[in-house]
Amino acid sequence: MKIYTKKGDKGTTGLFGGKRVSKDDVRVECMGTLDEANSTIGMLRVKLGNAHEWQPNLHKIQKDLMDMMSHLARPSDAHKVNTNPMPEDGAAFCEEWIDALEGAMTHPSDYFILPGGNEVSALCHMARTQMRRGERRLVSLMKEDEVHEAIPAYINRLSDLFFTLSRAEMDKAGVAEEKWQLFLYKRFKKADPDIKS
């Protein structure tokens, strides 16, 4: 089977179930952005090496992204059934990993930081920002069609996770974070210590 079909030469692409839409359709934009994030995670995994402790979790995330994209490719009015699993535990999985990472770090996350530090940390920030863009496109899609509630929750948590992974990498490598400014609620608390977090 050839990789090219020539069906997209006029600017349309097929969705799950057979419907064709413009390649700049919000659904396609959403899936494309998540695909970019998945590719960045692939690059991150290569940089880390096969023996790195993050590999199993990152592998799970890549597979879950593929499953979520397959569900996003299916409009709610499509008659064909999607048999790929829905990762309904995604948000909880991210939260558990975030908590473990933060518990092992020597410094709390009180500041906005400049992306960078080292190559692994920078790749985590790239994945984080791509997830955020995917989330924005996902919200646009949700205004047009139904989306399983597990997907936006997972995508939201993934951006938090990759921020935490970037910090965990810098903490482990002993690289100082380039701080921008305190989180807003921290600034208010510093100005008025009576404010509760």
The span from the CA of 174 to the CA of 186, in Å, is 24
Q: With 50 as the cut, is the pLDDT of residue 177 above it?
A: yes
Report yes or no on 5 lying in a domain: no
Q: With 50 as the cut, is the pLDDT of residue 18 above it?
A: yes
Q: With 90 as the cut, is the pLDDT of residue 133 above it?
A: yes
Residues 55-61, mean pLDDT to the nearest whole number: 98
Q: In degrees rounded to 5, what are phi and psi of residue 111? A: -125, 150
Q: With 90 as the cut, is the pLDDT of residue 13 above it?
A: no
CATH of the domain at 83: 1.20.1200.10
Report yes or no on 9 lying in a domain: no
First CA to last CA across the chain, in angstroms? 58
Choice between 192 and 102, residue whose per-residue pLDDT is larger: 102
Report yes or no on 85 lying in a domain: yes
Q: E strands along the chain, which residues?
A: 12-14, 20-22, 111-113, 179-182
181 bridge partner residues: 112
Choice between 113 and 2, residue whose per-residue pLDDT is larger: 113
User: Which of 111-115's residues contact partners 24+ apart within 8 Å by CB, and which partners?
Assistant: 111/177, 111/179, 111/180, 111/181, 111/182, 111/183, 111/186, 112/179, 112/180, 112/181, 112/182, 112/183, 113/167, 113/177, 113/178, 113/179, 113/180, 114/177, 114/178, 114/179, 114/180, 115/166
Work out how many domains the chain is built from and give that number: 1
Report yes or no on 97 lying in a domain: yes
Report yes or no on 28 lying in a domain: yes
The answer to whether the beta carbons of residues 168 and 113 sit under 8 Å apart is no
Residues 175-191, mean pLDDT to the nearest whole number: 62
What is the predicted pLDDT for the residue at 127? 98
Report yes or no on 10 lying in a domain: no
Q: Please give the residue range of the domain that contains residue 33.
A: 19-191
Convert the pLDDT of each residue in 81-127 to its tens digit.
Answer: 889 999 999 999 999 999 999 999 987 777 777 788 899 999 999 99
Report yes or no on 114 lying in a domain: yes
What is the predicted pLDDT for the residue at 197? 45
pTM: predicted TM-score of the whole model, two decimal places: 0.85
Report yes or no on 12 lying in a domain: no
Q: With 60 as the cut, is the pLDDT of residue 21 above it?
A: yes
What is the predicted pLDDT for the residue at 56? 98
